[in-house]
């Protein structure tokens, strides 16, 4: 059981769940509300409900149960391996596959498949639930992902990502036509205060984020573009393109409410380039556009 205690110094009329979320931004509002429903939050020693509005100076106490420890289990799931050696591998992830297990989604993930393929021999830097995972791509984004088999490789690859020498190129179809044929989006990304499950461009509790883009082709209502990541923030491309007013086609989170439905965002990680941490070789791997992407291009041409 973890305990949080603080004196409420917000304005009168603010709900208790929002007050706690502002004090602990790493917790989602829904998670806080569940703890409140279980009787885990008190104000001045008395249990409260979700609608309670504390007065300034109230002593708020939150007692949260310790999170259940999850552990990835090996599963025999076919993988599209594009490169592999004793230190690392590059896998072409299909759209719809989650990268690592989480509560409510414990199997069928890329990590489950990697545990079987590598016989459990993966780096342990990111813990038992994310073994080998150096960077991630979203469930409904397809494409290349690099995986470390040991901590030496993991550390070397992570340093390249931190220094922006790790090359990552994507292809996407976005709504509308961009003003310039190429450009750079340099806008910090952080978690949305309105919806904790979403990211947004913000200067509050954010990290710098840089995306370079160039237009490959234009169609009546869409543009086919290439993107290169300089940083790797959560949902970076999707947030940056929505920020420009050109969300990724098929994106149900950052796109228009009545947007096109193609089973996920039309976004593919088509190229990664890196220096091998063991011998210093530069390696560049590409993955062709998947069927769903080509079918959508054919439809809009």
Instruction: Looking at the structure, tell me whether residues 174 and 286 fall in a common domain.
Output: yes
Triad 154, 286, 165: Cα angle to 5° = 45
Residue 12 maps to which CATH number?
Answer: 3.10.290.10
pLDDT the model gives residue 12: 82
pLDDT digits (tens, 9 = 90+) for 57-77: 999 999 877 655 557 789 999
Among 138, 186, 195, 261, the active-site one is: 138
- Summary mean pLDDT of the chain: 91
Instruction: Looking at the structure, tell me whether residues 224 and 177 fall in a common domain.
Output: yes
Residue 283 maps to which CATH number?
Answer: 3.30.2350.10
Which residue range(s) make up the domain with 60? 2-64
- The domain tally of the chain equals 3
* Whether residue 14 has pLDDT greater than 80: yes
Q: Which pLDDT band, with edges at 50, 70 and 90, does 153 fall under?
A: very high
Measured in degrees and rounded to the nearest 5, phi and psi for residue 112 equal: -60, -45
Instruction: Looking at the structure, tell me whether residues 194 and 154 fall in a common domain.
Output: no
Instruction: Looking at the structure, tell me whether residues 202 and 249 fall in a common domain.
Output: yes
Domain boundary among 46, 64, 82: 64
What DSSP designation does 144 have? E
Instruction: Looking at the structure, tell me whether residues 157 and 169 fall in a common domain.
Output: no
- Written as six digits, the tokens of 148 are 């470390």
Instruction: Looking at the structure, tell me whether residues 154 and 176 fall in a common domain.
Output: no
Rg of the chain on CA atoms, in Å: 22
Cβ atoms within 10 Å of 217's Cβ, excluding its own: 12
Query: Which segments of the chain are extended strands (E)?
Result: 2-7, 41-43, 46-47, 59-64, 81-84, 88-93, 142-148, 167-175, 182-186, 189-191, 199-201, 206-207, 210-218, 222-229, 267-275, 282-286
pLDDT digits (tens, 9 = 90+) for 116-149: 999 988 998 777 777 889 998 999 999 999 999 9
Instruction: Looking at the structure, tell me whether residues 181 and 283 fall in a common domain.
Output: yes
CA distances from 221 to 238, 260, 264, 292 (A): 18, 11, 18, 18
* Nearest one of 257, 220, 217, 212 to 237, comparing CA atoms: 212
Domain boundary among 38, 64, 90: 64
Active site annotation includes 9: no
């Amino acid at each position: 059981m973890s305990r949080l205690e603080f004196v409420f110094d917000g304005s009168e009329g603010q709900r208790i769940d929002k007050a706690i979320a502002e004090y602990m931004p790493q917790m989602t509002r829904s998670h806080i509300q569940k703890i409140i429903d279980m009787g885990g939050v008190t104000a001045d020693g008395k249990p409260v409900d979700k609608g309670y509005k504390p007065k300034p100076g109230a002593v708020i106490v939150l007692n949260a149960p310790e999170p259940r420890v999850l552990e990835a289990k090996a599963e025999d799931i076919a993988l599209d391996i594009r490169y592999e050696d004793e230190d690392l591998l590059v896998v072409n992830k299909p759209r719809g596959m989650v990268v690592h297990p989480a509560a409510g989604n414990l199997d069928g993930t890329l990590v489950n498949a990697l545990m079987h393929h590598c016989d459990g021999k993966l780096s342990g830097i990111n813990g038992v639930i994310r073994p080998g995972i150096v960077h991630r791509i979203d469930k409904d984004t397809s494409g290349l992902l690099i995986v470390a088999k040991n901590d030496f490789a993991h550390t070397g690859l992570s340093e390249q990502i931190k220094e922006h020498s790790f090359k990552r190129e994507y292809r996407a179809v976005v709504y509308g036509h961009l003003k310039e044929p190429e450009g750079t989006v340099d806008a910090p990304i952080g978690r949305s205060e309105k919806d904790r499950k979403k990211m947004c461009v913000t200067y509050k509790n954010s990290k710098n984020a840089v995306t370079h883009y160039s237009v490959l082709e234009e169609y009546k209502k869409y543009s086919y573009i290439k993107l290169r990541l300089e940083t790797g923030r959560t949902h970076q491309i999707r947030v940056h393109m929505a920020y420009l007013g050109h969300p990724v086609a098929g994106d149900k989170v950052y796109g228009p409410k009545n947007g096109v439905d193609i089973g996920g965002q039309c976004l593919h990680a088509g190229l990664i380039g890196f220096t091998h941490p063991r011998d210093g070789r530069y390696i560049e791997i590409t993955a062709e556009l998947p069927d769903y992407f080509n079918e959508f291009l054919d439809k809009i041409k």
